[in-house]
A = this chain, B = another copy of it.
Amino acid sequence: MPNLIYTLAFWAAALPTLTLANTTAVVSELESFRVEVVAEGLRIPWTLKFLPDGRALVGEREAGRLSLLDLQSGQRQPIEGLPSMFRSGANSSGLFDVLVHPQFATNQTLFLAYGIGDEAGNGLAVASARLRGSRLEDLDELYTPARLIAGKWHFGGRLALADGNLYISTGDGYDFSAQAQDLSSPAGKILRIREDGGIPRDNPFLGRAGALPEIFAYGVRNPQGMAVHPETGAVWINEHGPQGGDEINIVTAGTNFGWPQITYGEEYGGGPIGAGLLRQPGMAQPHYYWDPSIAPSGLQFYAGQAFPNWRGSLFSGSLAFTHLNRLTMDGDRILHEERLLAERNWRIRFVEQGPDGYLYLGNDDGQILRLVPE
């Protein structure tokens, strides 16, 4: 593996403090691995997606940047022609998720989620575009919110492709949690649109007066992780609950996940949310929840060859407890939770499985890291 040796040598020379991260083996419950630094100096890297030619796309939320990343050298080339977006600083708006179309090799198509508007009125939008060289062309704004709100945080912002449709997670805007129960508002929802921006005929609220037809499920707070189950094809989300109510859910048509009517969380600093209810008829219980909250971001089912004992596990990053969260699964069932890399103190924003089967992470220190079997 001359490229790998080159990478190690490069980092060892240029960034001596990173050498330890490269060479120390981590022994965990089911696999041993080492952590390699792939790139540094990014501004809240929020998504990493792999292109068929071996390069990757890395998106920086706060910076509103998208770049081509050489996974061997760590070198980046900025992509031009991004849509104009609302950028509002820490834990707020900017460039959210990016998806590579499954037929990218022939259609060069990407999907992008990003904030639009301004402080007085903003929301999450989704566009498609073609990547030509290092430039986006044929930008097509597929989805814009039917209502803007004066949101500061909680934009959601993850994308997934499943059953030929595009799923979009939106947040409740923090101060607008009641809208998560309001089918005329795009806030606090899982949306489902066609790749061309149309509405699929079987969307559950299509034809209901006063309901937005793009809504597929509702009652969510701030879903910053979305993943497609590699066997069932179902869309899974995680989301930041309030203090003590982070959830994992399986998205099904028309489901009300209950926020803010029911939650296992409480207000920051203590005290019930609303009536303090845990269950209500017509509202789904969480599939799993974390209490204390870990503040999950990113979500990835592992289905690679590099870590055979992790096949089927569900990974997410934790911002609050700064670790890589691994859930042992048996089908849809969660058997066990493991917290990896907690001692590194990294706020992990995403977890992606590379075409090499390695796990790639991004953190708030501006690093892209990968886990390699040891």
A contacts, CB < 8 Å to B: 29-30, 244, 264, 278, 285-291, 309, 328, 330, 333-338
- What are the residues of chain B within 8 A of A336 when measuring CB–CB? 264, 286, 288-291
Is B278's CB under 8 angstroms from A335's CB? no
State whether A287 and B335 are in contact (beta carbons under 8 Å apart), knowing that A264-B328, A278-B309 are contacts in the complex.
yes
Given contacts A289-B335, A289-B336, 18 further A-B contacts (CB under 8 A): A29-B244, A29-B264, A29-B291, A30-B264, A30-B278, A264-B328, A285-B330, A286-B330, A286-B336, A287-B335, A288-B334, A288-B335, A288-B336, A289-B328, A291-B336, A333-B333, A334-B334, A337-B337
- What are the residues of chain B within 8 A of A338 when measuring CB–CB? 291
State whether A335 and B286 are in contact (beta carbons under 8 Å apart), knowing that A264-B328, A278-B309, A328-B264 are contacts in the complex.
yes
Closest B residue to A248 by CB, please name it: B335
Interchain residue pairs with CB less than 8 A apart (16): A29-B244, A29-B291, A30-B264, A30-B278, A285-B335, A286-B330, A286-B336, A287-B333, A288-B334, A288-B335, A289-B328, A289-B335, A290-B336, A291-B336, A291-B338, A337-B337
Closest B residue to A279 by CB, please name it: B330
> How many copies, total?
2
Per the bound structure, the CA–CA distance linking A309 and B289 in Å amounts to 16
- What are the residues of chain B within 8 A of A264 when measuring CB–CB? 29-30, 328, 336
- What are the residues of chain B within 8 A of A244 when measuring CB–CB? 29
- What are the residues of chain B within 8 A of A337 when measuring CB–CB? 337
Closest B residue to A266 by CB, please name it: B29
Per the bound structure, the CA–CA distance linking A333 and B331 in Å amounts to 13
Name the distance in Å between A78's Cβ and chain B's nearest Cβ. 43
- What are the residues of chain B within 8 A of A288 when measuring CB–CB? 334-336
Name the distance in Å between A314's Cβ and chain B's nearest Cβ. 15
Name the distance in Å between A196's Cβ and chain B's nearest Cβ. 38
